[in-house]
Amino acid sequence: MTRKQRRMTIIGGSLAVLALAAALVLNALRDSIVFFSTPTMVAEKHVPAGRRFRLGGLVQPGSLQRGDDLAVTFEVADGSAKLPVAYKGILPDLFREGQGVVAEGALDANGVFKADTVLAKHDETYMPKEVADALKKQGHWKDDYGAKPDASNPGATAQGNSKGAVR
Amino acid sequence: MIAETGHYALVLALGLALIQSIVPLIGARLRDPALMNVARSTALAQLVFCGASFVALVVLHVTSDFSVANVYENSHSMKPLIYKITGVWGNHEGSMLLWVSILSLFGGLVAAFGNNLPLSLRAHVLSVQAWVASAFYLFILITSNPFLRLANPPIEGRDLNPVLQDVGLAVHPPMLYLGYVGFSISFSFAIAALIEGRIDAAWARWVRPWTLMAWIFLTLGIAMGSYWAYYELGWGGWWFWDPVENASLMPWLAGTALLHSALVMEKRNALKVWTILLSILTFSLSLLGTFLVRSGVLTSVHAFATDPTRGVFILLILCVFIGGSLSLYAARASSLKQGGLFAPISREGSLVLNNLFLTTACATVLVGTLYPLGLEVLTGEKISVGAPFFNLTFGPLFVPLLIAVPFGPMLAWKRGDLLGAAQRLLAAGIGALLVLALVWAWAHGGSALAPPAIALAVFVILGSLTDLVERFGLFRVPFATALRRARGLPRSVWGTAFAHAGLGIALIGIVCETTWNSEYIGTMKPDDVARVAGYELKLDDLFQRQGPNYREMIAQFDVSRDGRAVSTMTPSKRSFTTRGASTTEAALLTRGASQLYVSLGDATAEGAIAVRIYHKPFVLLIWWGPVLMAFGGVLSLSDRRLRVGAPKPARIQPHLQAAE
């Protein structure tokens, strides 16, 4: 083989692998990304049941109910809309009513959000970034949420049976 | 006083770095040895001053001087001594100081041990090293000064984030930084080669040990971080495809590719331009990792602070260094002479294949990490890219790579014999098929992909052993001869075999843990019994205890199997009063390579407690694999041929320099 042919072999091989990778990436991006929504966005967009997304907002005070065998229900609110959430498992260390939360899962036929992962953070002043941005956009931003976690490390904890949790 | 001394030392280090970044370059232009030698003394002096600055911060933390903002915000007088020391880098400012300290350490090492480098190359390398250092000194001094005083010193500090109060913090960040920053050496060498317009096999001989050292630390650092997350965060996960983890994985992938391509360059004087590019990319990815973690664009346990000016500053550093080095590369790469030629099927060819898959896998991780950020900037839409994405992209790309791993070392340089290699790997292949059949017959439940994945891992392990066996001629020559040959084998050959086998071992752990993990989640009262994977865990007692700076609730479990007592496990939940935060301390029981994992949730009003119990089969292999890889790296590093500062062989072996 000449130098040119050898080089073409290598370049051809590289292009083939790159094409494969691009195909894999595009395919995966179509199927496996998860969008973020607030209760208001869910109400406006009519998200179909069974489609996975991340729900963010504040845990509605007084809505947390514990059932048998670690089942819990609570409501996530963003000021203008509320969405009931059902979860089974151990809630994060800093899950509190009135605080920000992000849950991942899908709506069921009755319009209840079945979460398989609930994320909250290890810090009193912390508000998940997505939630903070969404609330700001709607004008429900309160200054006390914005108490900058300047030195207080917002150590996240996520609990649930999913492995795709945010740290 | 100490704080001011530390601050002043840092300013002096910046001054020295500025001198070091300019004077040696002028010296190299004018071919003035005196000016070029300035690099050596300034690099050493810079190490002294930067080290002094770091020591000053450690002293401030140890003595709990709460008049310093950094100490006040991250320390507490009741904190155990080890966490006072590790707390130094458990915050943004301190961790950046550790970053530059390690950078100056590497600069100092090149200066101290670089006596056999060509003078102008050393001047250039140290000068580039100083550019990076200057940028980061400026960053620290302008945006994140750890020595700022408070006007009204409080009596007590705010304590370190409880999650970080763990021995993991003593090991994980320094290891990771030694890895990240270690790649700055190969970057500096690459830029120096581009400036000089000259590069040869000696260059690769020089770069390889540094890259290898950085790679060993990065491997251990990532593995350590993963194990830390596994036992500290309390739900038994060890890898989450979180952007912060990806930020460390990307330099590792690129660094692994660099390690292999530098080999081709050293042995065959080929792939020069590509090796230079990989050096630049690896360090760029390290910088990108620093940016992602430190700028606050991501929210994670690693993002200590979200101050926009810092993000902008690091982004600026990132753009200048990545943009600058890539432009230099574009302008100068064509002036580097092309090296040796080789057939597609050869050792070089297999290493090119390795590079191709590693860099492509790295690119998919990059896309998955940056896509959500990019999409949010462009459309405002928020998405998260999680494990499913990476399983669908990274996984398929690693399969052909793993299949090719045992073939690589069996192929000869220049022109290999694929059929011969396949014949020699026949035993390994048969072994893998046997394992496949066994696992298929034995395993119940789980993914159908698991048995083939384990067989692939076994193939990689057996293939690496086959390479060793072939080289001693075991089973073909008398045992004593084989033993003598084994002793005479270069250590780098052993290193290769161990590192490749480590890959297979880690894969077995990953597959077993994800497929046959069993769990029990529920509430338990004292004397309740939970059964997981043949073990019985009886909740014996629940009690409170006071720690140095926390209170903890401890649950005591009696573990038994088939009626025989095995051990007791005591997971706990700690609440730290100063921060009002709590952490979950999981209890681990190691049985062989498998582990039983218990962590606690909330206590209910009726005196019961929520518990999570996992049985994780072969989970320890996930970390033993990387440890074995790092051990292989150390063996390779101790090889005479690569020893830093080893004299060049007097007679260059003809096959190394074979003509095209």
Long-range contacts: B393-400, Cβ < 8 Å, 24+?
B393/A21, B393/A24, B393/A25, B393/A28, B393/B364, B393/B367, B393/B368, B394/B361, B394/B364, B394/B365, B396/A20, B396/A24, B397/A17, B397/A20, B397/A21, B397/A24, B397/B357, B397/B360, B397/B361, B397/B364, B398/B357, B398/B361, B399/B456, B400/B357
C-beta atoms of A167 and B240 within 8 A: yes
Residue A38 near chain B (CB below 8 Å): no
Residue A24 near chain B (CB below 8 Å): yes
Query: What is the distance between the alpha carbons of residues A134 and B524, in angstroms, rounded to a whole number?
Result: 39
B390, containing H or E segment: helix B387-404
Residue A157 near chain B (CB below 8 Å): yes
Q: Residue range B274-285: average pLDDT?
A: 94
State the nearest Cα–Cα gap between B48 and chain A, in angstroms. 29
pLDDT tens, position by position, B133-174: 999 999 999 988 999 999 888 988 888 888 788 888 899 999
**CA contacts within 13 A on the Cβ side of B420:** 12
C-beta atoms of B364 and A128 within 8 A: no
pLDDT tens, position by position, B340-382: 677 778 888 899 999 999 999 999 999 998 888 888 888 877 7
Please tell me whether residue B118 adopts helix, strand or coil conformation. coil
The type of residue at B454 is I
Best to test chain A binding among B384, B391, B573, B584 (most A CBs inside 10 Å): B384
Query: What is the distance between the alpha carbons of residues B303 and B318, in angstroms, rounded to a whole number?
Result: 17
CB contacts of A148 in chain B (<8 Å) are 306
Residue B318 vs residue A145, higher pLDDT: B318
C-beta atoms of B601 and A122 within 8 A: no
In 3D, which of B40, B190, B211, B207 has the Cα closest to residue B115? B40
pLDDT tens, position by position, B177-221: 999 999 999 999 999 999 988 888 888 888 889 999 999 999 999
Contact B642, B209 (CB under 8 A): yes
Residue B659 in this model has a pLDDT that exceeds 50? no
Give me B17's structure tokens.
């770095």
C-beta atoms of A152 and B158 within 8 A: yes
By Cβ distance, the residue of B241, B392, B523 closest to A70 is: B523
What's the pLDDT score for residue B57? Answer: 96
State the nearest Cα–Cα gap between A87 and chain B, in angstroms. 13
By Cβ distance, the residue of B158, B233, B360 closest to A21 is: B360
Cα A31 from chain centroid (whole Å) = 16
What's the pLDDT score for residue B298? Answer: 64
CA angle B332, B336, B342 (to 5 degrees): 135
Residue B595 in this model has a pLDDT that exceeds 80? yes
Residue B650 in this model has a pLDDT that exceeds 50? no
Give me A133's structure tokens.
């941005």
Q: At a CB cut-off of 8 Å and minimum separation 6, what does B580 contact?
A: A124
φ and ψ at residue B608, rounded to 5 degrees: -100, 165
Q: Which of residues 254-283 of B touch A (CB under 8 A)?
A: none
Residues making up chain B, counted from first to last? 660
CB contacts of B303 in chain A (<8 Å) are 154
C-beta atoms of B299 and A155 within 8 A: no
φ and ψ at residue B535, rounded to 5 degrees: -100, 145
DSSP-assigned letter for residue B4: H
Percent of chain B with pLDDT over 90: 56
What's the pLDDT score for residue A132? Answer: 63
C-beta atoms of A21 and B244 within 8 A: no
In 3D, which of B315, B330, B248 has the Cα closest to residue B282? B248
**CA contacts within 13 A on the Cβ side of B272:** 25
CA torsion angle B434 B437 B441 B445 (round to 10) = 120
Lowest mean pLDDT among B170-179, B425-434, B483-492, B587-596: B483-492
C-beta atoms of A156 and B612 within 8 A: no
What's the pLDDT score for residue B8? Answer: 96
Query: What is the distance between the alpha carbons of residues B316 and B135, in angstroms, rounded to a whole number?
Result: 10
Instruction: Give the ipTM of the model, two decimals please.
Output: 0.76
Q: Which of residues 105-124 of A touch B (CB under 8 A)?
A: 121-124
Query: What is the distance between the alpha carbons of residues A126 and A149, in angstroms, rounded to a whole number?
Result: 7
CB contacts of A128 in chain B (<8 Å) are 299
φ and ψ at residue A165, rounded to 5 degrees: -90, 155
C-beta atoms of A6 and B382 within 8 A: no
With a cut of 70, which residues of chain A have pLDDT below it? Answer: 1, 93-94, 120-167
CB contacts of A35 in chain B (<8 Å) are 381-383
Residue B415 near chain A (CB below 8 Å): no
Quote the pTM value.
Answer: 0.89
By Cβ distance, the residue of A1, A70, A156 closest to B521 is: A70
DSSP-assigned letter for residue B162: G
